Amino acid sequence: MLVQLFENEMLQLGMEPPPNLGGVTSEAINDKYVRGEIRIVTEQARYPLSTIVTMLESGDYNLNPEFQRRHRWDRVKQSRLIESFIMNVPIPPVFLYEVAYSRFEVMDGLQRLTAIADFYRGKFRLTGLDPWHELNGMLYAELPEQVRRGVDRRYLSSIILLRETAKDDSQAQRLKQMVFERINSGGVKLEPQEARNALYNGPLNELCIRLARTSSFCRMWGIPTDEDISNRQAQRTLWEEDVEIFEDEVEADPLIKNVLYQKMQDVELVLRFFAYRQLEAVEQGRLRDFLDEYLRLGNRFPTKVLEQLEELFITTCDLVHAVLGDRALYLLRERKNGGWGWFERPTKVLYDPIMRAFSKLADRRDEVLRHTATIQDQLEIFYKDNASAFAGRSTNQEDIFRRMRLIEDYLKSCIGG
């Protein structure tokens, strides 16, 4: 069952003990406060909406710092933001971090800034408006003059965390992530991987984000690949030469509608593959806690280990996809009304054991490929014989190990050895 770990890959998993607070006096706490050891230095600014496009095109604003979430607003939500400005509804401020003098990262507010800029650029027509339903279908340039002037008079407020907040880059990263977590504690709840991305960014996290765009991995999870997006954009350009179209009708970036991508669940799946290589060393507990700790500690991996993990992940995904195709992670299940049928979406119940089993055969790739037909032909029988082991309710650690053993034994029986 155990996997062969790379040199220096083993982590000492186990929650770090809390700091010893015994003997801390009120005087010491007061001194810490007076010294301003952990204190945010801010200033406020207001930007006329008509200047947002120029502001974003200046190159002084980074819209994609590591802790931003991927969720994207649809055109209705963007339109309603514009409607809020028309009605002068108070809009929450955006949060910026000054990474260098007069250069900023957008910590919170990316969607508001993007919506405003896109509207002024004429990239979408208003849709889904209620109090101002008369404006539905209009571009910015088509708004009645007084309404357009009214929009131009509105401001977007910002709160800027100044450079002097942090003494060094390491402290700056911790403070930015802490602020991001706290300003996102209300409203739309952060998904587990979104929180990890904010709190534990580092080399391993960045590797997981990059590997989540692996073509074979995306195809098995039904996520648009970079090639799909490129082809869609090229086709969209051809259509635009003949007829005026709107982005709502032909979406340039299909990732906008993919839930796995939006919620960073694709990144979590990559992390799971790496973390489950050391699952035997973990005591029974919540999976989220394990992934949190693995990512936090794994960010300290040497460069060589990260390179080895990257190669293993890509090789494994490519091998699974070559043998089992786009539907590699679709499970055969017994229907409630009798008979059997393929579950019409990929599942983690198969992802974890299949990826682990194939990764242990990565160095026998050619041999595995020679037995592709056998592996495919016997798979339906295998799922029927082991239906109880792959039931969705079986999610504790022992169930996970059982599925891993079953898949590994199945592959061995197909290819021998």
* Tens digits of pLDDT across the chain (417 residues): 689 999 999 998 865 544 454 556 777 656 656 565 556 778 899 999 999 999 999 989 988 766 666 767 889 999 999 999 999 999 999 988 888 888 888 888 888 999 999 999 999 999 999 999 999 999 999 999 999 999 999 999 999 888 766 666 666 666 766 676 666 655 556 788 887 887 788 899 999 999 999 999 999 999 999 888 877 766 554 444 444 444 444 455 677 788 899 889 999 999 999 999 999 888 766 666 899 999 999 999 999 999 999 999 999 999 999 999 999 999 998 887 888 999 889 999 999 999 999 999 999 999 999 999 999 999 999 999 999 999 866 678 889 999 999 999 999 999 986
**Taking CA 46 as the corner, what is the angle to CA 43 and CA 51, rounded to the nearest 5 degrees?**
135
- What's the confidence (pLDDT) of residue 260? 93
Contact 252, 236 (CB under 8 A): yes
* pLDDT tens digits, 263-282: 899 999 999 999 999 998 88
Local structure of 167: helix, strand or coil: coil
- What's the confidence (pLDDT) of residue 33? 60
pTM for this entry: 0.74
What DSSP letter does each residue of 254-289 carry, written as one string? GGGG-HHHHTTHHHHHHHHHHHGGGGGGS-S--HHH
**Extents of the domains making up the chain:** 42-161
Of 188, 167, 166, the C-alpha closest to 176 is: 166
- What's the confidence (pLDDT) of residue 243? 41
Of 75, 1, 3, the C-alpha closest to 274 is: 3
Of 237, 368, 258, the C-alpha closest to 315 is: 368
What DSSP letter does each residue of 347-414 carry, written as one string? -HHHHHHHHHHHHTTGGGHHHHHHTHHHHHHTHHHHHHHTGGGG-TT--SHHHHHHHHHHHHHHHHHH
- What's the confidence (pLDDT) of residue 67? 64
